[in-house]
Amino acid sequence: MERPAAAFIKSEITVRRAALAIAICTVVITVAGGVGIWLLDHKEYPTVGEGLWWSVQTITTVGYGDNVPSRTEGRIIASIIMIAGIGLLSVVTATVTAAFVEGARSRLGRGRDQEIIERLDRIERRLAERDRGSDVVQR
C-alpha cells in the first residue's frame, strides 16, 4: 500500500494541491519554530503559546519587534521562519497570478485553436509552393 505522502508527490500538480502543500509546510514550520524557540529560550518565551505567537508574527512578516530572540539559536530559528514567510508570500502571489493567467488563456483560447491551426496550414502550403517555384527557376 502506497503512503499518502508518496501518492501526493506522484499525483498531478494542480493549483489546489500546490496550495495544500504550501499550507501544510507553512503550518509545520510555524509550529516547529514556535516550539523550537520555546525549547531554546525559556527566558524570553516562557510558554509554548508565546513561542507560537512569536512564530506566527514572524512567518506572516508582521514582526511587531516587541519580542525578538537574543540568543544565536533563536536568531537562526527566526531566520528560517522569516525566509519561509517570504517564500510563502511569493508562492501564494505566484499561484494566484498563475490561476488568473490560466483562466484568461482558457477564455481567450476557446475556439481559436482551430483557427490558428488553419492559418499555420495555409502558411506552410504557401511556403511549400514558394519553395517549389524557386526550385524550378534555379534549374
Q: Which domains does the chain carry?
A: 4-110 (1.10.287.70)
Predicted local confidence at residue 46, as pLDDT? 92
DSSP state of 14: -
What is the H or E stretch that residue 108 is in? helix 72-109
What's the pLDDT band for 7 if we cut at 50, 70, 90? low
Give the separation between CA 23 and CA 86, rounded to whole angstroms: 14
One-letter amino acid for residue 110 of the chain: R
The residue among 59, 55, 49 whose CA lies nearest residue 69 is 55
pTM surpassing 0.75?
Answer: no
Give per-residue pLDDT as tens, 13-72.
Answer: 777 787 788 888 889 999 999 999 999 988 889 999 999 999 999 888 887 778 888 888
Cell 512564530, residue located: 55
